[in-house]
Chain A
Amino acid sequence: MSQAGICPIQDRENAGILLDYCDRKLDPDMMALLDSHVSQCAGCRQALAAQQLVWEALDSWDPAPVSIDFNRRLYQRIDKEAATAWWRRMFQPVLPFSMRPALPMAAACIVLMAVFLFQAPSEQQLQKKMTVEFIDVEQVEKTLDDMEMLRQMEGLLQEEPVSRRAL
């Protein structure tokens, strides 16, 4: 009991006792008992000194101060989550729990379909587009015809006075 390292108090089963004794956490009776034991046991005294050294070493390790914007960043994240929560609330109550992981995939599919539908012209749109193109051609032809007609009329009008003069 007086030699270092062989005291039963230092066994794994009694691991908490020396730590609590070192930390003055034991009840008064147990403290008195340990005081008496330690005064006679070199192994325990050595273990206690080594433990004290460990705690002093650990005490020297001060952590860095917390960033001043820690709370602000957290509240931003909370606000962001709250803003997107309405979308989740729309789907989550009606879907069974097992289907919830499929939600992001379903959302992606909806977006893809929407993009496809907006980009690919519908039959009606195609017909409308063709009609527009057809009208355009007609309009141009009509405009050209009108211009030709105007030109002819202009010619007639210019010729008319001469003929009138001749008359």
Chain B
Amino acid sequence: MSIPQPQHSIKEGVHKDMAAAIVIEHDAELMLRVREGDPTSFTLLLERHRTPVIHFLYRMVQNQPVAEELAQEVFLRVYRSRASYEPTAKFTTWLFRIGTHLALNWIRDHKKERGQESLDQEKADGVARQVADQRQSIEQEMVRQVRLSEVRRAVELLPAKQRAAVLMHKYEELEYSQIAKVLQCSESAVKSLLFRAYETLRVRLAHLG
């Protein structure tokens, strides 16, 4: 193993905006250090962005092993292209652009297989949660499972680009301009994608209220 593990995580500032600015600068700075051959900086970037990237990919493809495999590819590509890295865009935008590209390709290539796989994964997740949430009554857990599978299904049925836009907007809290760069479209196109996606979700999930 040539890349050392970090001893501690980087603390973020108290003020949210200032912290965000520091983090953004820091990401680019770390990546520039990776470009200069510093493996510790790569580990720090990996520690910071690994979980959001995997969670985003998991919600895109709805399969944990596939999501982790795609995330491995994302970070491998980041490492491979370190020599040519230029801090022209936010690091997270770049990261999510690679991730979205890989996820959209995977969805396109596995469209026909998705139905059964998704159901199997849902069952696997359900078993894991049943073990974890033993305190909850079986009835409560069943209701929760039904709701969860409906949410997952509603998201899965969205066109892939709308799905990506919603996941980046809702869970990763990316700005419209960032989502636009990731999806390579205009900001107004992103707003339009989100409008249609949320409109569909409002209809599909209305009965959960």
Q: What is the CA–CA distance of A54 and B205 in the complex, to the nearest angstrom?
A: 7
Q: What is the CA–CA distance of A60 and B129 in the complex, to the nearest angstrom?
A: 13
With both chains docked as a complex, state the minimum distance between the C-beta of A80 and any C-beta of chain B, in angstroms. Answer: 10
Say whether B125 faces chain A, with CB atoms less than 8 Å apart: yes
Q: A67 contacts which chain B residues (CB < 8 A)?
A: 68
Chain A: CB-nearest residue to B149:
A61
Q: B54 contacts which chain A residues (CB < 8 A)?
A: 63, 66, 70
Q: Contact at A50–B195, with CB atoms within 8 Å?
A: no
Q: B2 contacts which chain A residues (CB < 8 A)?
A: 75, 78-79, 82
Q: Contact at B59–A75, with CB atoms within 8 Å?
A: no
A15, A51, A55 interface centre (most CB from chain B within 10 Å): A15
Say whether A149 faces chain B, with CB atoms less than 8 Å apart: no
With both chains docked as a complex, state the minimum distance between the C-beta of A15 and any C-beta of chain B, in angstroms. Answer: 3
Chain B: CB-nearest residue to A76:
B1
A61 CB contact (under 8 Å) in B64, B148, B188: B148
Say whether A29 faces chain B, with CB atoms less than 8 Å apart: no
Q: Contact at A75–B206, with CB atoms within 8 Å?
A: no
Task: Encode contact with A along B46-71: 1 for CB under 8 Å, 0 otherwise.
Answer: 10001100110011000010001001
Chain A: CB-nearest residue to B171:
A58
Q: What is the CA–CA distance of A136 and B3 in the complex, to the nearest angstrom?
A: 61
- Which size bracket describes the interface of A in this complex? 20 to 34
Q: B195 contacts which chain A residues (CB < 8 A)?
A: 12, 15
A50, A67, A82 interface centre (most CB from chain B within 10 Å): A50
Q: A115 contacts which chain B residues (CB < 8 A)?
A: none
Task: Encode contact with A along B145-179: 1 for CB under 8 Å, 0 otherwise.
Answer: 00110111011000000000010011100001000
Say whether B131 faces chain A, with CB atoms less than 8 Å apart: no
A16 CB contact (under 8 Å) in B51, B71, B148, B194: B194
Say whether B191 faces chain A, with CB atoms less than 8 Å apart: yes
Say whether A77 faces chain B, with CB atoms less than 8 Å apart: yes
Chain A: CB-nearest residue to B196:
A12
Say whether B118 faces chain A, with CB atoms less than 8 Å apart: no
Q: Contact at A64–B202, with CB atoms within 8 Å?
A: no
A interface residues (Cβ-Cβ under 8 A, vs B)? 12-13, 15-16, 19, 47, 49-51, 53-55, 57-58, 60-61, 63-64, 66-67, 70-75, 77-79, 81-82
**4 extra interchain contacts, Cβ-Cβ under 8 A, other than A12-B192, A57-B154?**
A50-B206, A51-B202, A63-B55, A81-B80
B interface residues (Cβ-Cβ under 8 A, vs A)? 1-3, 5, 43, 46, 50-51, 54-55, 58-59, 64, 68, 71-72, 75-76, 79-80, 125, 128, 144, 147-148, 150-152, 154-155, 166, 169-171, 176, 188, 191-192, 194-196, 198, 201-202, 205-206, 208-209
Q: List the 9 closest pairs (A to B, CB-CB), nearest first.
A: A15-B195, A15-B191, A50-B202, A63-B55, A16-B191, A63-B58, A53-B209, A54-B201, A57-B205
19 A-B residue pairs with CB within 8 Å:
A13-B188, A51-B202, A53-B202, A53-B208, A57-B150, A57-B201, A58-B151, A60-B151, A61-B152, A64-B125, A66-B68, A70-B50, A70-B71, A71-B5, A72-B1, A74-B72, A75-B1, A77-B76, A78-B3
